[in-house]
Amino acid sequence: MNMQFSAQQISALVNGQIEGNPLASVSGLAKIEDANPGDLAFLANLKYEEFLYTTRASIIIIGDSLQLKKPVNATLVRVKDAYSSFALLMQHYQKMQEKSLVGIQEPVFIHPSASVGKDVFIGAFAYIGENVVVGDGVKLYPHVFIGNQVSIGERSTLHSGVKIYHDCLIGKDVTIHAGSVLGSDGFGFAPQQNGTYNKVPQLGNVVIEDHVEIGANTCIDRATMGSTIIRKGTKLDNLLQIAHNVEVGENSVIAAQTGISGSTKIGKNVMMGGQVGVNGHIAIADGTRIGGQSGVTKSVLSQNTSLDGTPAFDFKDSLRSKSVYKRLPALEKKIKELEQLLSELIKEREAISS
């Protein structure tokens, strides 16, 4: 990265306290164990504390409660949360980079009825359909497709190859990564008596609220009727499948390769690990945490519970079950030994009584 920040500027951005030279400057970012002079690093995980005393970084962001065990050569910026502060600084730098990305490249297609706001970037080979509304500061990278009647809120970013089908609504400050598809048809087919299937028209749309991030190659299907909705602040990983009429609540996070079946309602602040499978037409309560590769087959009604396994059940019970499962061969051997011992005792008792 080409940047130039002083410790004083960094401290102001992250509301930190400086220990060392306030004029120390950095022009790059690096891991604390690999950093060189001129690099900014951070220490959030105490497993890496040993590198704090050997690193060559010029500036290091650390927690305000960390007690130093040895002298440190670098200038320190102490903050309440080192990881969050480092992320904030990177966001600031990214915004500085993107601010300069403005204009319309050629060739593109923009329908005459489309409305395009100020300070936008539209990359080459983008397609913008009829009656589309593109808000101020939006960035559409090359090969983005925007179908008819789509609305994209201010400062949203759609990376290369994103496809937004007709009638979908994208909020403000949304990021959609490369290759994702929003608004493709839900998987609706009516079985017929002769064994064939008739397609059920999918007439709804997809609504993405503000401050949502969607990873690469994720698919979110349009509703059969009404809307598939991703509520504000939610973060979706790569390679997700979210089916028709699903609703995902505010500030939920869902990891890669998870699949959510149709008409399921997911609450606020839900966390799902990778490769979770969720049945259709169920509800998942606010604050639920679901371990990776779990299968959720029925509604979760209690808030703030942790689940694991297939079918998913209480996380602690699941851990106990897995512990027992690993010991089954030894338990089987023990049972056979006990059966043998019991058989011998019975024979001895029968011999005494006779």
Select which of 159, 177, 211, 244 is catalytic. Answer: 244
DSSP secondary structure of 90-158: HHHHHHHHHHT--EE-SS-EE-TT-EE-TT-EE-TT-EE-TT-EE-TT-EE-TT-EE-TT-EE-TT-EE
- CA distances in angstroms from 90 to 42, 69, 85, 135, 166, listed in the order given: 12, 28, 9, 24, 34
Nearest-Å Rg of the Cα atoms of the chain is 28
- Residue 207 contacts residue 223 (beta carbons within 8 Å): no
| Closest of 16, 14, 15, 39 to residue 89, by C-alpha | 14
Exposure b/e, 240-264, CB count within 10 A at least 16 = b: bbbbbbbbbbbbbbbbbbbebbbbb
Which DSSP state fits 300? B
244 is catalytic: yes
Residues marked active site are found at 244
